[in-house]
Homo-oligomer: A and B are copies of this chain.
């Protein structure tokens, strides 16, 4: 009997262990709330006001019992790219691409040797190039990005990214993204926000390679664009890029493009310059509770420090409104443990 009893005890123990392993605790899929209780969603952020504000907002608007609850369909977040998700100094990364394109095309354009802004590019004269102002830079972008199909342009950008290096950091441009912002994008998506890029940069330049970096698919990347035309091309249709801007996705262009393409007002908008101010104002006017975020470049050592007087990413009126209206401002130097993923 003893032996048998022992067997029964063993059998019961097995059943018990089976019941335990089979109950809802173990079979229930792990919920994001469970993870967030344990895992810090923003590990590269110091425990600062900006981080606390973000988490408080997301927790509030995703809580069904909150008066500020936002239905999933309306959780639209929009992010500027240059200076907000990746660096933009000493010039927009796309300008370096345009310069490399001009050099690659120079043989076909002997007239460029004596014509600005091309002359400055061919002579590596960055100072003169930047003196050409926005018109000069636009000319450079238009001339170097047009006259080919969308597929051909995508391949050129992808080839460029593989080898191009940032002039002072010495790493690929695609490495100079902000680790804390990658975490923020992930955190928002884990809470059923759609994350869009809304950038003054060229939409096709970004679409060629940033999807993997940010986890943002092409259809959620919005930017400036050239005019295009459709060519039937004997059954092999092409979208051809023309040497003329169709839309500049900056300043007032941002809310206009958000309305055109998304058709919904963001509940979360993030930028770093006065060019983003209309987008943040637009989000601030949402009937839902909304979150306005500015990245303030305060870290001259690890990144760059610039704001009100900068020729790139000037943040002046935006900073005033952020301070006046209590928007969240990231102090890059003090708020972020690391800037780039390779520093982790």
Contact = CB atoms under 8 A, between A and B. Distances in A.
Nearest to A283: B237
B22 A264 contact: no
A150 B281 contact: no
A344 interface: no
Interface residues of A, number: 47
Contacts of A278: 230, 232, 237
Contacts of A230: 252, 255-256, 278, 282
Nearest to A277: B232
A327 to B, nearest CB: 13
Which of A18, A260, A284 counts the most chain B CB atoms within 10 A? Answer: A260
Interface string A8-32: 1001101100110010000100000
Nearest to A154: B263
Interface in A18-74: 18-19, 22, 27, 73
Interface string A150-191: 100000000000000000000000000000000000000000
A285 interface: yes
A219 interface: yes
B12 A260 contact: no
Contacts of A207: 263
A217 interface: yes
Interface string A222-240: 0001001110100111010
A4 interface: yes
Which of A7, A204, A261, A278 counts the most chain B CB atoms within 10 A? Answer: A261
Contact of A218 (B11, B217, B218, B264): B264
